[in-house]
Amino acid sequence: MINLYSIDHFSLEQTFDCGQCFRFEKDENGVFYGVVANNAVKAYYHTPETICLESSNPDPDFWNNYLNFSCNYADVEKQLSNDKKLLPCIKAGQGIRILRQDLWETIVSFIISANNNIPRIKKIINKLCELYGEKIEFDSKVFFGFPSAETLAKLELSDLSEIRAGFRDKYILDAAKKVVSKEVDLERLPNLENTAAKAELMKIKGVGTKVADCILLFSLGRHNVFPLDVWTKRILTELYGVEEKAMPDFVEKTYGNNAGIAQQYLYYYYAIEKNK
């Protein structure tokens, strides 16, 4: 299966390397290979104006949803451009699209992300998938899908020692068991408003406010959610002079329904682009 997409506010590098997902890697030819749940995918520039996507999953609707092509980023950019301090960030990260990632995979990935760095997060997740995920053969390569909650719920703590996730091991198992028992019901989550959805997610050990917000933003498409972490708090303080206790109100008033996208522009510009 091959899909061609014209490039409009979409960059492979910026979308896959901006810290929202952890299973994409670029090879020496500039081709991105990744796995989404149990779907292997290959993405590259067909021409300077088009992106080619090949996958083990032949359903174009799946990828249209994952890449969030229903969101009009030209309109988003226009609305956010009223904030002049954000303009350099928008320009630098113009190709970022907030993905709609698999919910279970996003929960575990951002549990692992807590107090961690991106290379190590990727290493832990890849090892978890290699040990317990489904083997996928695609494009003459071997990939591993993301292990299901049912698979992980059967494990003991010692079974996860090889992934070297440290204290996060017990949180991964807690998440799996609560999802399997439906103490945390993933089918209900998309229908809950933000406060209720966060409360549901925070039943899982290791899921605090920031991780819950990341899950809402990067999986459920809640673009009005602005995850606050060390980086974004520092950026808001230095750029706008906002005190921490005032940040939620400031974010809502300044960015509105596009707060999550604004957050990713800010993070990409100040935490990634400026540190290259």
**CA distances, 212 to each of 24, 70, 141, 151, 240 (Å):** 22, 24, 34, 23, 25
Tell me the residue length of the chain. 276
Catalytic, 233? Answer: no
Q: Which residue is associated with the tokens 């091991």?
A: 169
Measured from the Cβ of residue 230, the count of other Cβ atoms closer than 10 Å reads 10
Please pick, among 127, 177, 210, 233, the residue that the annotation labels catalytic. 210
CB distance 54 to 1 below 8 Å: yes
DSSP character string of 211-244: HHHHHHHHTT--TT-----HHHHHHHHHHH---G
Residues in Cβ contact with 171 at an 8 Å cutoff, skipping those fewer than 6 apart = 111, 204, 205, 206, 207
Q: Which residue is associated with the tokens 């990935």?
A: 109
- Residues classed as catalytic: 210
